[in-house]
Amino acid sequence: MEVISMILNNFGQFVRTGRESINLLQKELSDGICTRSMISRIETEDYFPHITIVEKLLDRLMVPIPVFLEELCREDKEQKALGIIIEFLNEKYEKERDFQTIQKWIQNMQEIRFEMITIFRAHMHSLRAFVEDVKQNFEEAEKEYKKFIELARGLNDVSMLASGLNRLAFMYVNIDLDKASEFIEEAYSLATLHSIPTELTISINLTLSAYKYGIGEYHTAIQILQAVKNRKRLSPVFRFRSHNLLGRCFHAIGKYTEAEQEYKQTQNYFKYSTSGELIFNNNIGNLYADMGKYDLAFKHQNRSIEIALETNQPYFGEICRLRLAKLHNLTGRNGEAELICKEIIEESWNPRNISIAKLILSESRFELNNEDCTEMICDVINFFNEQGGRDDVQYQKEAYKLLAKVKMPKDHVNLFPAQLLIY
E-strand stretches of 63-105: none
The closest of 236, 169, 173 to 199, measured between CA atoms, is 236
Q: State which amino acid sits at residue 258.
A: E
DSSP characters for 242-286? HHHHHHHHHHHTT-HHHHHHHHHHGGGGGGG-TTHHHHHHHHHHH
pLDDT at 418: 41
What is residue 371's predicted lDDT score, i.e. its pLDDT?
62
Q: pLDDT (tens digit, 9 = 90+) per residue, 357-413?
A: 999 999 999 888 876 788 899 999 988 888 766 677 788 888 888 888 876 555 544
Stretches where the chain sits below pLDDT 50 are 1-8, 412-413, 415-423
Backbone conformation region of residue 313, classed left if phi is above 0, alpha if psi is from -120 to 50, else beta? beta
Q: What does the angle CA 276 – CA 282 – CA 287 come to, to the nearest 5 degrees?
A: 120
What span, in angstroms and rounded, lies between the C-alpha atoms of 253 and 32? 54
What's the CA gap between 71 and 114, in Å, rounded? 10
CB contact set of 96 (below 8 Å; sequence gap of 6+)? 236, 237, 272
> What are the CA-CA distances from residue 58 to residues 89, 178, 361 (Å)?
17, 46, 55
- 41 CB-contact burial (10 Å; exposed 0-12 / middle 13-18 / buried 19+): middle
Please answer whether residues 396 and 420 qualify as being in contact, where contact means their C-beta atoms are separated by less than 8 angstroms: yes
Alpha carbon of 207 to those of 176, 181, 201, 225, 227: distances in Å? 14, 10, 10, 10, 14
Instruction: State the burial class of residue 191 (Cβ atoms within 10 Å of its Cβ: 0-12, 13-18, 19+).
Output: buried
- Length in residues, the chain: 423
From first CA to last CA, the distance across the chain in angstroms is 59
